[in-house]
């Protein structure tokens, strides 16, 4: 496994070697088995898998959140090697994204769910993703479905900007408790982890009640359950899987996704499940 400290070193290497069958897994480090599943899947599909480790300041609207983001570079590199990654981009300095034109064509995706609480977040995500895709030129890029809205944003970015890459959605990996794997989980203590494990249970509860109660009343019930658990809720909503629009009474349950975001011990956590995923549980 080779490690590159600048994007120029990496692209020069790819040019000299003539590497074209590239799978790419962009990360912000503090890696876990969820990232590992993306890397391992890419390894089975491509001659060469590249992983980036870069905490992008442009996508943090809260400076404290950026500073608190966990950083475990030595452990991350050990993980990547064990997962079969071939090349790693780990920039030593802040990347210059000034040549990337701001992306503003979000449709409704920059005004719902995560967006109101995180102004500038998706603009920052689009800048770094476009920069890396244009520089590395992978055939496919792999993202986890836990960040469902982010995937929708990046899919739109790829379509509008005509980026020559296929976005691959990979299933959310979960802890034995059901909690979605996240680098942010490391900031929770034992009590916080127990409380966070209620998040997937709330989603399953929503799907168990929606046929009887309907969408609006089920959302109200879940919000009340969060209050009872002293979970600081940002949203808990049914949305259309295809475009993340609000559901109507005519939306089939099979075409929905339930998304939730909350803060526990000062850590923002997100999760989601489609109807089919909830039924499978």
d(CA 127, CA 103): 7
- Looking at every residue in the chain, the average pLDDT score rounds to 96
Catalytic residue among 35, 46, 121, 234: 35
Task: Give mean pLDDT, residues 35-45.
Answer: 97
Q: Which residue has the tokens 């168990």?
A: 208
Same domain? 104 vs 161:
yes
Q: Could you list the residue range(s) of the whole structural domain that residue 80 is in?
A: 2-170
pLDDT over 90 (residue 157): yes
Q: How many domains are there within the chain? A: 2
d(CA 225, CA 231): 9
pLDDT attached to residue 85: 98
Q: Contact at 8 Å (CB) between 3 and 80?
A: no
pLDDT over 80 (residue 281): no
CATH number, domain with residue 268? 3.30.1300.10
Same domain? 80 vs 217:
no
Domain end position, chosen among 170, 199, 228: 170
Residue 124 lies in a domain: yes
Reduced to 3 DSSP states, what percent helix, strand and coil does the chain have, rounded to the nearest 5? Answer: 45, 20, 35
With 0-12 CB in 10 A as exposed, 13-18 as middle and 19+ as buried, what is 231? Answer: buried
pLDDT attached to residue 180: 98
pLDDT in tens, 62-97: 888 888 888 899 999 999 999 999 999 999 999 999
Name residues whose C-beta falls within 8 Å of residue 215's C-beta, 6 or more positions apart in sequence.
Answer: 238, 247, 249, 251
- Asked about 250 being catalytic, the answer comes back as no
Same domain? 166 vs 189:
no
pLDDT attached to residue 62: 81
Residue 177 lies in a domain: no
pLDDT attached to residue 70: 87
Q: Residue 53's pLDDT band (boundaries 50, 70, 90)?
A: very high
Same domain? 128 vs 22:
yes
pLDDT attached to residue 238: 98
Q: Residue 101's pLDDT band (boundaries 50, 70, 90)?
A: very high
pLDDT attached to residue 218: 98
């Amino acid at each position: 496994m080779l490690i590159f400290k600048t994007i120029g070193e990496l692209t020069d290497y790819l040019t000299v070697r003539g590497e074209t069958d590239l799978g790419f897994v962009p990360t912000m480090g503090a890696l876990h088995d969820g990232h590992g599943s993306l890397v391992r899947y890419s390894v089975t599909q491509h001659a060469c898998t590249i992983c980036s480790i870069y905490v992008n300041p442009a996508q943090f609207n809260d400076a404290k959140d950026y500073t608190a983001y966990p950083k475990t570079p030595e452990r991350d590199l050990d993980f990547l090697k064990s997962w079969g990654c071939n090349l790693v981009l780990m920039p030593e300095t802040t990347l210059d994204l000034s040549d990337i034109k701001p992306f503003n064509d979000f449709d409704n995706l920059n005004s719902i769910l995560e967006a109101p609480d995180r102004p500038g977040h998706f603009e920052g995500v689009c800048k770094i993703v476009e920069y890396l895709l244009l520089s590395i030129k992978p055939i496919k890029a792999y993202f986890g479905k836990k960040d469902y809205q982010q995937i929708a944003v990046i899919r739109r970015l790829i379509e509008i900007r005509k980026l020559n890459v296929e976005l691959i959605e990979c299933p959310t990996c979960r802890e034995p408790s059901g909690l979605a794997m996240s680098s942010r989980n490391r900031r929770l203590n034992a009590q916080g982890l127990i409380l966070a494990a209620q998040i997937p249970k709330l989603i399953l509860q929503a799907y168990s009640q929606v046929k009887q109660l309907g969408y609006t009343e089920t959302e109200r019930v879940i919000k009340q359950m969060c209050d009872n658990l002293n979970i600081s809720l940002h949203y808990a909503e049914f949305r259309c899987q295809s475009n993340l629009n609000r559901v109507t009474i005519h939306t089939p349950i099979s075409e929905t996704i339930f998304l939730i975001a909350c803060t526990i011990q000062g850590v923002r956590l997100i999760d989601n499940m489609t109807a089919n995923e909830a039924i499978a549980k």
